[in-house]
Amino acid sequence: MRDVIVVGAGPAGSRYARQAASDGHDVLVFEQGEIGEPLACSGHVSTDVLEFVPPEDRDQLHQNEIHGARFHLGGPDSRAYPFYKDAVISHVIDRVELDKVLARAASEAGAEVRDEHTVTDVEEREDCIVVTVSGPDGVETHRARMVAGCDGPQSRVRDAVSLPDPAELLHGVLGFDADSDDGDFVDVHLTVPRFFAWRIPRGDAGVEYGLAVPPGEAAGERFETFTDSYGVKTDRRCSGLIPIGSPESVTSDRAFLLGDAAAQTKPFTGGGIRYGMTAADHAAREIDPADPATLADYERAWRRDLGREIRLGTWVRRGYSLPRPIQRVGLGLFAGEIGVHMDEPSSLFSRAQLRALLSR
């Protein structure tokens, strides 16, 4: 019997597998397709994300460095409200390659990673978890002391063990233009309901365009309108669901959720790479697969670390839906050099941000 079966080899799943295997646990990872494919997530990440990547692999992920963001209340020709730092705020990385690098790190740490294996059933028993998998060699059944559900917004593990769903699922759409752009500002457009659209320069890799909207808001049509406003036709497109609002519990008797399956995401951007891997580290530290009682320690640890940021991020997101006159005043007051961290809304109240405001 394995110690832990990890369902999903995205950033959170691979990070947990790497840390747990490094601690001597017997870890088996299943990914339903090719690792990193299909792309369904932006490659714009905070500088902290690279700290989770083996140093020798960081350069191969690099596409561009970002110093700020221009906020718009209309299209590309509307007034821009710039927010920036002299230092690098964030990186643009090869998102597909990130998954591959992290999965390889998990394998090198001792976890067994199997792609092209689809988990079809998860049965929680008193003394173990039974996982049924369909792979190239047919149907397999595996037993483990615990299972980690790292299988995305529509988590099969979450459903199988009857854990609650995220508060909402947004529909995100991405498209790419091949023309190179090494600009150091992203553009954010507060022009879609309850969220935003974006343009991210990716250096020689081109430009990423995207948006996210609530269900029923015609994401595809809005995306076409958005890219038309920039005068581009994207040569490839992908879409996915973005979970917002973590449920009250992400653990059951022998299962725990990580990453998008647990909605460990930023409510104001939808990004969850850093939050998911941070939670994965808490899971690896706190959970003893032989002792189900330690699942409660994981619940407390990740919420103590990320809960405040998620709550504050919810308030930041509400600003996207304020009346236009209020948005103009707010953006006008705060535009300029900033001292905030893109993953930490609490940094809006930091000394660095106060110094930036007073220096204007």
Region of poorest pLDDT, from 117-121, 138-142, 162-166, 341-345: 341-345
pLDDT confidence of residue 354: 81
161-183 average pLDDT score: 96
Kindly report the backbone phi and psi dihedral angles of residue 327, in degrees, each rounded to the nearest multiple of 5, phi listed first: -60, -40
Work out the percent of the chain whose per-residue pLDDT is above 70.
100
Distances (CA, A) of 135 to 30, 31, 115, 116: 10, 10, 9, 6
pLDDT above 80 for 147: yes
pLDDT confidence of residue 85: 93
Would you state the structure tokens that stand for residue 198, as one six-digit string? 């974006």
C-alpha to C-alpha distance for 330 and 327, rounded to whole angstroms: 5
Q: How far apart are the first and last CA of the chain?
A: 62
265-283 average pLDDT score: 97
Q: What is the DSSP letter of 271?
A: -
User: Per-residue pLDDT tens for 73-130?
Assistant: 999 999 999 999 999 999 999 999 999 999 999 999 999 999 999 999 999 999 999 9
237-249 average pLDDT score: 94
Q: Helices 11-22 & 273-286, crossing angle to 10 degrees?
A: 30
C-alpha to C-alpha distance for 117 and 30, rounded to whole angstroms: 6
C-alpha dihedral sign at 100, 101, 104, 110: negative
59-67 average pLDDT score: 96
pLDDT confidence of residue 106: 98
User: 197-201 and 185-189: which strand pairing?
Assistant: antiparallel
User: Per-residue pLDDT tens for 199-226?
Assistant: 999 999 999 999 999 998 999 999 999 9
pLDDT confidence of residue 202: 97
pLDDT confidence of residue 322: 95
pLDDT above 90 for 358: no
User: Per-residue pLDDT tens for 8-49?
Assistant: 999 999 999 999 999 999 999 999 999 998 887 899 999 999
pLDDT confidence of residue 103: 98
For tokens 């902290």, the residue is 48
- Residue 73, classed as helix, strand or coil, is coil
CA 319 to chain centre: 21
pLDDT confidence of residue 319: 94
Would you state the structure tokens that stand for residue 186, as one six-digit string? 């992203």
pLDDT confidence of residue 121: 96
156-176 average pLDDT score: 96
State which H helix or E strand residue 244 sits in. strand 236-244
Would you state the structure tokens that stand for residue 236, as one six-digit string? 């490839």
Average pLDDT for the chain: 95
232-256 average pLDDT score: 94
Helices (H) and strands (E) in the chain, counts: 9, 18
User: 336-337 and 112-114: which strand pairing?
Assistant: unpaired
The residues that bridge with 90 in the sheet, in sequence order, are: 46, 66
264-282 average pLDDT score: 97
Kindly list the structural domains of the chain, giving each domain's residue range(s) and its CATH number in brackets, ordered by start.
Answer: 2-319 (3.50.50.60)
pLDDT confidence of residue 302: 98
User: Per-residue pLDDT tens for 306-355?
Assistant: 999 999 999 999 999 999 999 999 999 989 999 999 899 999 888 888 88
C-alpha to C-alpha distance for 278 and 268, rounded to whole angstroms: 18
pLDDT confidence of residue 353: 83
